[in-house]
Amino acid sequence: LGLSGPPGAGKSTFIECFGKMLTERKYKVSVLAVDPSSSTSGGSLLGDKTRMTELSRDMNAYIRPSPTRGTLGGVTRTTNEAILLCEGGGYNVVLVETVGVGQSEFAVADMVDMFILLLPPAGGDELQGIKRGIIEMADLVAINKADGDLVVPARRIQAEYVSAMKLLRKRSKIWRPKV
């Protein structure tokens, strides 16, 4: 599964919760977390593993943070090979968390069985992604952080994306993207 979304959408939190649910059901889960590299220093924080504290201690989970090192599209140059290695290593589920910073970080969509776009409610111009970029590639759009005071904005955004996605060309004859 490929996961993308803007900063603050809750990608790492979602992966931790979903990953723990999978390991409790006896799946072996691999997380390939891609972090942006600095164009100045070339360094990367690789902080996703620290945000997945429970999952990182789980014996049925493997978390590999990787820097982009200038690669565009939200993944690293070797993400596809890393997915194959994880599958070959016996991991049932491979989750790829992209950099996820905008409308063009969807290279992972061609590497995975399902591409999930995570969006926070009340993030501004809600249909900004409809500019024929990342939203076209999504197999599933998940409105995250939809609790408390954000329930109403989340439902509104869900309705907007359901309507907007009807205007997009279908990528598959058998799957209609869900919101």
Predicted confidence (pLDDT) per residue in 66-111, tens digit? 876 555 556 667 788 999 999 999 999 999 988 766 555 667 788 8
Looking at 25-150, list the stretches that DSSP marks H as alpha helix, in order from N- to C-terminal side: 48-51, 53-56, 79-88, 134-137
- 105 and 126 fall within a common domain: no
Domain closes at, from 60, 91, 110: 110
- 50 and 138 fall within a common domain: no
Q: What is the pLDDT of residues 102-144, one digit of tens each?
A: 555 667 788 899 999 998 887 655 555 444 577 888 899 999 9
Write the Ramachandran bin of 75: left for phi over 0, alpha for psi from -120 to 50, otherwise beta.
Answer: beta
User: Which DSSP category does 18 fall into?
Assistant: H
Per the listing, tokens 């789980």 go with 58
Bigger pLDDT: 42 or 96?
A: 96
- 106 and 127 fall within a common domain: no
pTM of the model: 0.84
- 57 and 76 fall within a common domain: yes
Tell me what pLDDT residue 98 has: 84
What range defines the domain where residue 39 resides?
1-110
Structure tokens at 174: 């058998």
Strand partners, 117: 4, 141
- 13 and 100 fall within a common domain: yes
